[in-house]
Structure 1
């Protein structure tokens, strides 16, 4: 678990440092117009790597994959810091996305290998949110300090330097190689088709229908997505060891958890990426003041995770905890929807605090319930499926707001996003209560 905590600390550091430094890098490399590609390519690579790595972890164990992910993350960080062209930087962001996808597929599955008992596991997992929150708070500060003192390139070397001791810690991680009754074969064709489906569907969701060219691109991506999905599904029915682990998808509770993850992922994206604009447009706060106002949400997520870990073992029906988290999220989103220029600081802090507490409880229970619903031999695939669903949820949230912005003003689009968040939270309550124990 120390190895898992170290990986999550590194993950939070990478996420926050990269987000604050990359705009400076793109500007110096004369590629500011292509800066959005740094996030898009990273997301696509991460979404493709997650299910593939999850399957490999179930087949051969997770230790070597986790070490390979950290090594690849360090290589991508050094390569980004040494980039001389925008093409070089974009290539390194693809490597970075692969590393992040590998980390998501393995780090969150290791506790299921170590603690078969969910009650014991949830107490250890609750600390994970704290480690991520700590590193996320250090990341912007370290990035700004190194960037101001030595330039943006030095800031990108922070993650590789921190990654070296993390690799040393992972050397002590138990191998826990799985034992299989039959020879394991990786479904390479299924993996390729899955990547085509993921990339085409996510690109389709990112398209904003502003002109004829974008509409044609949107239709083209969806046609490719549909063809890839049809061929993939038929292939998965025929192959003996499919990459998608169809046993998971046949479980009704697992399907409900996936739907709930899509909804919470969309709400998470809307709150994290558009709340500063909301506070600036509606309340009139500066972007710095808006960032400070969101601190209760950043703190509330690990606090909600810890509270969930403490309360989980006392519940006969633990799905009620997830419903409680959804209720907190509903209250927070409703308060934000009613935000107005006269809203006090206490009102704003309370709104974001409730959202953070709710998301902390929801996210941890989704991962835990999915691991409980999946067969033991497919725990990694189930964990990767949750991470991929959360990525899709973020893409759905982005697509919803992009569509709203295309037909209305920023203020109205934000209102639509928050109204969707309220409705999604209400649906999360219903889905949580329907889950079987």
Structure 2
């Protein structure tokens, strides 16, 4: 297919770039926040709307819709220009948020969350793609550090914000708060952001996108059913076949497509393939673990919700410092490999540290662990994004960005299900060893014991239940440590390349990149 040369956008002032950048961060923050904010608001929502058996789909619907459309947005940005695609995504997201706030039944809310997710996937993918348009590779690493910090902070404060808002002004406002922010972002980008026209003739790979969306959706749904504790149902056995068939069909279609949704040649680049593998593994061990920390802190240490929430503050600080600091160092040196390596080692150590936490563990020690857990997240998220964008040809930056975003989401989805399944299984094993008196005092099975229920037990029974929870969470944390070890091996295998600086500074070794080849590729 003949490609028309992309006209270079007119030079922009620093203040204009920063205006666009802040607007992108606001959009990214909303999209990530809404993936987590419903966790603590769900009991309130279910009490108001009824249909308690459906409340799990309030979160799953958003996650599935976001995962399904992420590859589309990356490729559409490459074809039509990322401004148009980002604007369309935020309009869809705002409409979905309004529909969520106005929902008067659980079914309506789930449908509205699907709409919201269709926009949220575009916000996450397009925001990082636009950064590639705004900044050179080294400079981009610095600003992606702030972006990754926003990603992590939103994930951390989402459950806390959801609980506070739902209990004070009403659960509807966890969605309606997006309206003024989203409208403000739209107004800013209309006037401040150039079009970044690609000059390419649109040729959308609908079939490839559909097959990839089907594979991802089936995989996430299977994880919820099998790993999350569904077990035994026919879908547990049928969905893996759907995943395999969809992926085979996807590869066949992508080989023949003029504009493949995910160009298969990206996977032949070692930096990209290893970054994607690390993103999936670390997504399971980090983003897939965040939702369980509040339960861990309240059950094992006995902390009230407010104090447990305060322990997330060190996490926010750790993520911010690690993301921004690593971004600045990559910007200065052009080297990024060391950061995912350190991240994986640190993550494994922190997971082992968490496995030692019991009811008498000092709060300062838990705070340190929370801090370094998010440092581990911050060190790898933006550096892997930088690695993928630098290794991909400029015409495929959007597709590459969408692919690594999708990899993280798949990891987070698998992590939520796998960690939940491990915890439930360990709790039920622990129940077999507790005393008859404790078992008689419990209002239900161990897997349904909440912090509130534990507080109603006699002291001896409560202590025994807490010990079972501590042991069960230890299983989850050891699993996380093993995942970080796998990620460490992948990080070691990444090429130790040097990003090009301003004016196309040559990579290490003095070999300039050929025309049309990313600067990183010349150093591999």
Tell me: CA distance 1:310–1:244, structure 2 relative to 1, closer, same or farther (3 Å). closer
Q: Is the 8 A contact 1:208 1:406 kept in 2?
A: no
2:348 — aligned with what?
330
SS in 1 for 2:232: helix
Q: Deviations over 1:167-195 (max 9, x none)?
A: 11111211111133xx3310111111112
Q: Deviations over 1:198-248 (max 9, x none)?
A: 111111111137999734220011112122122222222222322121121
1:346 — aligned with what?
364
Residues 1:424 and 2:483 aligned together = yes
Q: Deviations over 1:107-163 (max 9, x none)?
A: 111111111x32111122222245557767887787667655654334532111221
Q: Is the 8 A contact 2:142 2:328 kept in 1?
A: yes
The 5 A counterparts of 1:233-382 are 233-315=251-333, 317-382=335-400
Report which of the two structures shows the higher radius of gyration computed on alpha carbons.
Answer: 2
Residues 1:93 and 2:152 aligned together = no
Q: Runs of 5+ in structure 1 lacking a partner?
A: none
1:126 — aligned with what?
145
CA-based RMSD of the aligned residues comes to 2.6
The 5 A counterparts of 1:17-166 are 17-115=37-135, 117-131=136-150, 147=166, 150-166=169-185
Q: Is the 8 A contact 2:216 2:410 kept in 1?
A: no
* Bigger share in helix: 1
Q: Is the 8 A contact 2:31 2:120 kept in 1?
A: yes
CA distance in 2, matches of 1:90, 1:383: 28
Tell me: CA distance 1:435–1:50, structure 2 relative to 1, closer, same or farther (3 Å). same
CA distance in 2, matches of 1:164, 1:130: 23
CA distance in 2, matches of 1:353, 1:377: 38
Shift of 1:66: 1.0
SS in 2 for 1:285: coil
Tell me: CA distance 1:65–1:373, structure 2 relative to 1, closer, same or farther (3 Å). same
Q: Is the 8 A contact 1:14 1:159 kept in 2?
A: no
- Which shows bigger deviation, 171-180 or 365-374? 171-180
Length-normalised TM-score, structure 2: 0.77
Q: Is the 8 A contact 1:8 1:132 kept in 2?
A: yes
Residues 1:408 and 2:431 aligned together = no
- Which shows bigger deviation, 391-400 or 403-412? 403-412
CA distance in 2, matches of 1:211, 1:249: 33
Shift of 1:16: 5.5
The 5 A counterparts of 1:162-241 are 162-171=181-190, 172-180=192-200, 183-208=201-226, 214-241=232-259
Q: Is the 8 A contact 2:289 2:419 kept in 1?
A: no
Length-normalised TM-score, structure 1: 0.91
Q: Deviations over 1:345-402 (max 9, x none)?
A: 1211111111111110111111111111111111111111111111111232234324
Q: Deviations over 1:239-287 (max 9, x none)?
A: 2322121121121221111110011101113431112222234333334
